[in-house]
Protein backbone atom coordinates (compact mmCIF):
# COMPACT_ATOMS: atom_id res chain seq x y z
CA UNK A 1 0.00 0.00 0.00
CA UNK A 2 1.29 3.48 -0.87
CA UNK A 3 0.75 6.40 1.44
CA UNK A 4 2.21 9.81 2.17
CA UNK A 5 4.50 10.19 5.14
CA UNK A 6 2.85 13.08 7.07
CA UNK A 7 5.83 15.38 7.61
CA UNK A 8 8.24 14.48 4.87
CA UNK A 9 5.91 14.10 1.91
CA UNK A 10 7.80 10.98 0.76
CA UNK A 11 5.87 8.18 -0.82
CA UNK A 12 6.46 5.15 1.40
CA UNK A 13 5.71 1.47 1.21
CA UNK A 14 3.85 0.45 4.34
CA UNK A 15 5.24 -2.71 5.90
CA UNK A 16 2.82 -4.72 7.95
CA UNK A 17 3.87 -5.42 11.50
CA UNK A 18 3.54 -3.77 14.88
CA UNK A 19 6.11 -1.12 15.71
CA UNK A 20 7.65 -0.95 12.25
CA UNK A 21 8.12 2.43 10.59
CA UNK A 22 7.48 2.77 6.87
CA UNK A 23 10.68 2.84 4.82
CA UNK A 24 11.18 5.40 2.06
CA UNK A 25 10.70 4.00 -1.42
CA UNK A 26 14.00 5.02 -3.05
CA UNK A 27 12.60 4.74 -6.59
CA UNK A 28 9.78 7.15 -5.74
CA UNK A 29 12.25 9.55 -4.14
CA UNK A 30 14.53 9.50 -7.19
CA UNK A 31 11.57 9.93 -9.50
CA UNK A 32 10.40 13.02 -7.60
CA UNK A 33 13.91 14.49 -7.55
CA UNK A 34 14.46 14.52 -3.79
CA UNK A 35 18.11 14.18 -2.76
CA UNK A 36 17.58 13.48 0.94
CA UNK A 37 18.57 10.01 2.00
CA UNK A 38 20.31 9.17 -1.26
CA UNK A 39 23.95 8.36 -1.69
CA UNK A 40 26.09 10.65 -3.77
CA UNK A 41 24.06 13.88 -3.94
CA UNK A 42 25.83 16.84 -5.52
CA UNK A 43 27.62 18.93 -2.91
CA UNK A 44 26.50 22.53 -2.51
CA UNK A 45 29.10 25.24 -3.11
CA UNK A 46 30.78 26.49 0.06
CA UNK A 47 31.90 29.85 -1.37
CA UNK A 48 29.58 32.57 -2.60
CA UNK A 49 31.58 32.98 -5.81
CA UNK A 50 31.08 29.31 -6.71
CA UNK A 51 27.37 29.47 -5.83
CA UNK A 52 26.93 32.50 -8.09
CA UNK A 53 28.69 30.69 -10.94
CA UNK A 54 26.32 27.73 -10.51
CA UNK A 55 23.29 30.02 -10.42
CA UNK A 56 24.43 31.68 -13.61
CA UNK A 57 24.55 28.27 -15.34
CA UNK A 58 21.17 27.09 -13.96
CA UNK A 59 18.73 27.40 -16.85
CA UNK A 60 15.82 26.10 -14.77
CA UNK A 61 16.06 28.83 -12.14
CA UNK A 62 16.73 31.45 -14.78
CA UNK A 63 13.53 30.39 -16.51
CA UNK A 64 11.49 30.34 -13.31
CA UNK A 65 12.75 33.59 -11.78
CA UNK A 66 13.40 35.48 -14.99
CA UNK A 67 16.56 36.68 -16.67
CA UNK A 68 16.30 40.22 -15.32
CA UNK A 69 16.07 39.15 -11.66
CA UNK A 70 18.96 36.68 -11.98
CA UNK A 71 21.11 39.24 -13.81
CA UNK A 72 20.47 41.88 -11.14
CA UNK A 73 20.98 39.45 -8.24
CA UNK A 74 24.28 38.22 -9.69
CA UNK A 75 25.51 41.78 -10.24
CA UNK A 76 24.69 42.85 -6.66
CA UNK A 77 26.24 39.75 -5.08
CA UNK A 78 29.39 39.95 -7.24
CA UNK A 79 29.74 43.60 -6.23
CA UNK A 80 29.51 42.53 -2.56
CA UNK A 81 32.16 39.85 -3.14
CA UNK A 82 34.49 42.38 -4.82
CA UNK A 83 34.02 44.82 -1.93
CA UNK A 84 34.75 42.11 0.64
CA UNK A 85 37.81 40.90 -1.27
CA UNK A 86 39.15 44.46 -1.40
CA UNK A 87 38.44 45.52 2.20
CA UNK A 88 38.25 42.43 4.38
CA UNK A 89 41.25 40.88 6.06
CA UNK A 90 42.10 37.43 4.63
CA UNK A 91 38.95 37.23 2.50
CA UNK A 92 40.04 34.10 0.64
CA UNK A 93 41.17 32.20 3.75
CA UNK A 94 39.70 28.79 4.48
CA UNK A 95 38.30 29.97 7.83
CA UNK A 96 36.54 33.02 6.35
CA UNK A 97 33.11 31.47 6.91
CA UNK A 98 33.91 30.61 10.53
CA UNK A 99 34.56 34.14 11.77
CA UNK A 100 33.15 37.64 11.56
CA UNK A 101 35.48 40.23 10.07
CA UNK A 102 35.49 43.90 11.09
CA UNK A 103 34.49 44.71 7.51
CA UNK A 104 31.32 42.64 7.89
CA UNK A 105 30.37 44.33 11.14
CA UNK A 106 30.86 47.80 9.62
CA UNK A 107 29.09 46.87 6.37
CA UNK A 108 26.17 44.86 7.66
CA UNK A 109 25.41 46.56 10.97
CA UNK A 110 25.95 50.18 10.01
CA UNK A 111 22.43 51.21 11.06
CA UNK A 112 22.41 49.53 14.48
63 and 21 in one domain? no
- Name beta bridge partners: 79: none
In a domain, residue 9? The reply is yes
In a domain, residue 43? The reply is no
The boundaries of the domain holding residue 74 are 48-108
Q: State how many domains the chain has.
A: 2
Q: How many CA atoms lie within 13 A of 24 on its CB side?
A: 17
52 and 103 in one domain? yes
In a domain, residue 39? The reply is no
One digit per residue, the tens of pLDDT, for the chain of length 112 reads 444 444 444 444 444 444 555 565 655 555 555 555 666 667 788 889 999 999 999 999 999 999 999 999 999 999 999 998 998 888 888 887 788 888 888 888 877 7
pTM above threshold 0.75: no
User: CA of 25: how far to CAs of 2, 5, 21, 35, 67, in Å?
Assistant: 9, 11, 12, 13, 37
71 and 102 in one domain? yes
Amino acid sequence: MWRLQPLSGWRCRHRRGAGRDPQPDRAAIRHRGLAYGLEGPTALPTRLEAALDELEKDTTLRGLLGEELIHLFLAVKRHEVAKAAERARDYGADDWGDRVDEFEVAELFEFL
